[in-house]
Structure 1
């Protein structure tokens, strides 16, 4: 037995999936080239006769016939018949070779009851057969028959002292399919009791205890493993994982202690840095990653987090340096790095560089946002047709993104004052998928902008029918009524429903405030607007706030609110209209 990982575990998996260790060409299939060679290999002449068994000599002809019958049945897909025939033959002959073949065929037929009986018989015939032991243990594990399993596994473990540590670590993987985690824990405790001088035995118990929900035992065993092997990173990581379930701070402290004692423990230091990020302790995390970067300057697992943390800390220069370095390294997917480089170039007003980076973003989570950002850059440059062409090419290559890309194309047209064309584009998409929620919503907003209230109303009501919990649909319909000072009681009901579904949405708060304003409740409107503005300093919310303050006679405060918003968003049309309206 070279190792349990490479023999017994593989046997167990083979049995579990019904794929026994048949030799090439053994699987039943109409594609077989020939059976003669195989039959010669498995024929009774290939097995040493049991000369002390008189019945065996008398059965030779019948053995040949039954072997042939079983193999033909196997070729024709009659695995159940073949397994029964081989099992009967194996029991009568007690020949190790036939027993081995019978077990393979029974495994293929998923007759694990036969596999178990045959493996036990094989061990009676050949008590020292490692293969028989492996098969017996494998099928016992597969069928959750743990009684009597510990002695078998202990003998197998002791048979290969050199591979013992690795085999102990593989124990839990052997029982991965078992649902009775407590039974697995008790079994592994029994097995490992013989090997408690090895840290791997304590680690195996810790893993089983963790899987069984016994964290105190798992933690105690992990710490015992660390006592026996103080520099073992795997045990240090397991200890931190167990501690984190109760206290992330304790886990971080344990990792820090280990790193202090073993400064070259890269994996532990990486996990420490990531744990610090998880607790939003970004400064400390950045320090850990920077230390790792000195030792591992070309390790993507270090370079990427350093770049991300630099973004988090608003250190754009460091982030860009590391992302540029990352794309020079040998990594399978550079899309994320190019996406962030595109963002950084865009923020730095380097539009052409940003476009070049976004073009390098391949399929995956960053592909769509890269396409949208590219289109936005081109639109801002006045290259609307080029942007549309890019979006349509992306939609052709990625049909699953067609809706989002079409909506972005419509937005480009709207921003270019081509609202009619934008609505026509979405109408065309709706003609092929009339109940698509995003298309209904976006086209309704465009129809409202064009004054086509009936279209807007019908599409929003259809959306509400399709998605009764869609807060934005209720909000858009209610606000459209309030903005036109129409059907205010119904507008209030709609926005109240939206607010019930999404109570902290600043835009819905703004809509509710606008309904109250139209109904004459200026104080109530102001309270909601101030709450909305605190949640999100949006220019249109600021414009509404300024108007309500003005109507309440608080003109200086109104003008101050509008001026401050204008500094943030000088190009917003709604805000600029309010400034013109309420300036002295």
Structure 2
């Protein structure tokens, strides 16, 4: 694309020629002309103008008019482009794209069509990009290199693999550096379509990247196609080149390494095991730790962090160590590292540490400590996380007034690059508040309204829609006693979340209620347990499934694990049923008491105690005051 300053170069050249003319004239050896006075010069010039033919003067005027029109068009185009780019920066993609299309329609300038297509492609608006391309082809029926380049980018972005892999060498031939970088980035995206794509494009990619030995994007493409097509040695070689070219690690490099860690962990592990740690930059050593964490090699990652900390105990490394300790569920070490970050880090690091420490404290049921850490979060960038944490803690206490206060803050703040939580978490909390605060039918209508709004939008938020179906399904099952309708909603949730343990658990647990669907529910719960074996609510569901199958011995281990991790009156009720089935009435009484201490009005618990003739003899306060008698009738 010709830039504005390039279009000014011919003017500069003309000025150079004009200023050179007197010197050239002085160098000539012709006889000197008679001197002419300035006044005579002006008169002669005026006479020449008068003597010019009328047609010539008309042509000069027309040329001048065209020149002025061109200057005006350039000024208008520049102003329009500036306004469109500002709109794009403000998130108004549709407005920016529309403005570029209008400017192209008026001027026919190819650089405007190029920018319009780039905006559309980046936004995933491929139909709009195709329309721009078709209009461009009408203006330039013989495709230029720029037009071919953008047509290829559209094919590659759409996933037209055959065309993209066959045509990219020709596109690269005449591409400038910026265009070549875009080509390689799009080729990287194509490689993720599957190993067959990497195998199909491997030879072409290897030939193409040889022409760009000093371009990090080319090294990324080479590493990905080699790794995903089984050429591990070539992939490691490309990664070594990438480490030397991109010591600071661009976002594209970080993304590529992360993807390779998921799809070809053996290549990444081989690269880091062979690399000389002393020659790797600090950023690459940190990336090595991050890769080990991604592949759940926590012990190796922790060892590397300890080595790095012994050389350079920076707050950033201490922060990584604290996060890793949290992943290992070593909360004591996590507190040690994160407390050091809070004491010695900069403002963002201190706020990140305080946020994580609040999460650790609340996760260990240390509410007061968690609140103290949350109160220390004072950076606006972390306000969203702070509100999520405090709203969640209030929900666990069933303090709905306090929860509402923090939810109101969430409505005026948004997550950012520093956030632990996303908007989906805020939406889940909002739905939870609605669920617990209003009449069941009012809640049902509210959920149904939100579902209808999502479906009518044409582009529903899949996460939110799944959550709405999940919440409405639980409402139908628990409060409205409409199990068949509940199953429909929970099945829709599972379709939207096909590999989600929580979705499997919700549907599986509901299926247990009917004997005809109990085996189907049990199968789903087994799948959920395989995906999340440490989740207490899933352990509770699977334990209850074993109880209903007549296997209380197997049920007991899952239910005890669930209660230890998540003391809950419904889990206590399940343990009462299980211990009674095993003939251990004393243990049943013990969990009856624990359940009542948690919630003396819990419907499931009270129904269970009534069924076993273990109703509370006194109030909840009296139950707590009689530890020996357990507070229940014999």
Alignment of 1:544 with 2:559, yes or no, is no
Counterpart for residue 252 of structure 1: 269
Alignment of 1:404 with 2:429, yes or no, is yes
Counterpart for residue 529 of structure 1: 555
Counterpart for residue 97 of structure 1: none
- Consecutive unaligned residues of structure 1, counting only runs of 5 or more, are 1-10, 12-19, 27-37, 50-55, 84-101, 121-135, 157-166, 412-421, 448-455, 480-490, 517-523, 551-557
Alignment of 1:189 with 2:207, yes or no, is yes
Q: Structure 1 residues 570 and 241, CA, compared in 2 at 3 Å: closer, same or farther?
A: same
Counterpart for residue 207 of structure 1: 220
Alignment of 1:142 with 2:150, yes or no, is yes
Counterpart for residue 463 of structure 1: 486
Summarize the alignment of residues 74-473 of structure 1 with structure 2, pairs less than 5 Å apart.
79-80=104-105, 82-83=107-108, 141-144=149-152, 171-177=180-186, 186=204, 189=207, 192=210, 200=214, 206-210=219-223, 212=225, 215=229, 219-220=233-234, 223=237, 226=240, 244=261, 248-249=265-266, 251-262=268-279, 265-300=281-316, 302-327=317-342, 329-330=345-346, 332=348, 336-346=352-362, 351-359=367-375, 362-364=382-384, 367-376=387-396, 379=397, 387-398=399-410, 401=426, 404-405=429-430, 407=432, 424=438, 428-430=442-444, 432-433=446-447, 437=469, 440=472, 447=479, 456-458=480-482, 460-468=483-491, 472=506
Cα distance in 2, alignment partners of residues 59 and 180 from structure 1: 55
- Consecutive unaligned residues of structure 2, counting only runs of 5 or more, are 19-55, 78-101, 117-131, 153-166, 192-199, 412-422, 450-467, 494-504, 530-537, 564-570, 616-628
* Aligned-pair CA distance for 1:306: 0.4
Deviations 1:318-349, CA, capped at 9 Å, x for gaps: 32232233345335486653333224445777
Instruction: Give 3-state SS (helix, strand or coil) of 2:313's partner.
Output: coil
Cα distance in 2, alignment partners of residues 477 and 409 from structure 1: 25
Q: Structure 1 residues 563 and 278, CA, compared in 2 at 3 Å: closer, same or farther?
A: farther
Cα distance in 2, alignment partners of residues 466 and 323 from structure 1: 42
Q: Structure 1 residues 339 and 581, CA, compared in 2 at 3 Å: closer, same or farther?
A: same
Contact 1:215–1:242 (8 Å) recurs in 2:
no
Q: How many residues align?
A: 440
Contact 1:175–1:184 (8 Å) recurs in 2:
no
* Aligned-pair CA distance for 1:265: 3.5
Q: Structure 1 residues 510 and 170, CA, compared in 2 at 3 Å: closer, same or farther?
A: same
* Aligned-pair CA distance for 1:307: 0.5
Cα distance in 1, alignment partners of residues 375 and 210 from structure 2: 56
Contact 1:307–1:319 (8 Å) recurs in 2:
yes
Cα distance in 2, alignment partners of residues 260 and 512 from structure 1: 51
Cα distance in 1, alignment partners of residues 297 and 313 from structure 2: 23
Aligned CA RMSD, in angstroms, stands at 5.8
* Aligned-pair CA distance for 1:457: 1.7
Q: Structure 1 residues 561 and 403, CA, compared in 2 at 3 Å: closer, same or farther?
A: same
Q: Structure 1 residues 563 and 313, CA, compared in 2 at 3 Å: closer, same or farther?
A: farther
* Aligned-pair CA distance for 1:372: 1.7
- Give the number of the structure with larger relative contact order, counting CA–CA contacts within 8 Å between residues 6 or more apart: 1
* Aligned-pair CA distance for 1:22: 4.5
Counterpart for residue 99 of structure 1: none
TM-score (norm 1): 0.55
Summarize the alignment of residues 489-500 of structure 1 with structure 2, pairs less than 5 Å apart.
491-500=514-523
Q: Structure 1 residues 398 and 431, CA, compared in 2 at 3 Å: closer, same or farther?
A: farther
Cα distance in 2, alignment partners of residues 296 and 244 from structure 1: 26
Cα distance in 2, alignment partners of residues 146 and 403 from structure 1: 45
Cα distance in 2, alignment partners of residues 363 and 373 from structure 1: 15
Instruction: Give 3-state SS (helix, strand or coil) of 2:185's partner.
Output: coil
Q: Structure 1 residues 320 and 567, CA, compared in 2 at 3 Å: closer, same or farther?
A: farther
Q: Structure 1 residues 465 and 150, CA, compared in 2 at 3 Å: closer, same or farther?
A: closer
* Aligned-pair CA distance for 1:314: 4.8
* Aligned-pair CA distance for 1:409: 8.4
Instruction: Give 3-state SS (helix, strand or coil) of 1:200's partner.
Output: coil
Instruction: Give 3-state SS (helix, strand or coil) of 2:582's partner.
Output: helix
Contact 1:529–1:544 (8 Å) recurs in 2:
no
Deviations 1:92-141, CA, capped at 9 Å, x for gaps: xxxxxxxxxx7667867977669989999xxxxxxxxxxxxxxx6x5664
305-314 or 169-178, larger mean C-alpha shift: 169-178
* Aligned-pair CA distance for 1:547: 1.4
Cα distance in 1, alignment partners of residues 406 and 299 from structure 2: 39
Contact 2:184–2:217 (8 Å) recurs in 1:
no
* Aligned-pair CA distance for 1:269: 2.3
Cα distance in 2, alignment partners of residues 308 and 228 from structure 1: 27
TM-score (norm 2): 0.51
* Aligned-pair CA distance for 1:303: 2.3
Contact 1:358–1:370 (8 Å) recurs in 2:
yes
Q: Structure 1 residues 229 and 371, CA, compared in 2 at 3 Å: closer, same or farther?
A: closer
Counterpart for residue 21 of structure 1: 3
Contact 1:339–1:358 (8 Å) recurs in 2:
yes
Contact 2:390–2:403 (8 Å) recurs in 1:
no
Deviations 1:291-334, CA, capped at 9 Å, x for gaps: 2223443342x222200222344543432232233345335486
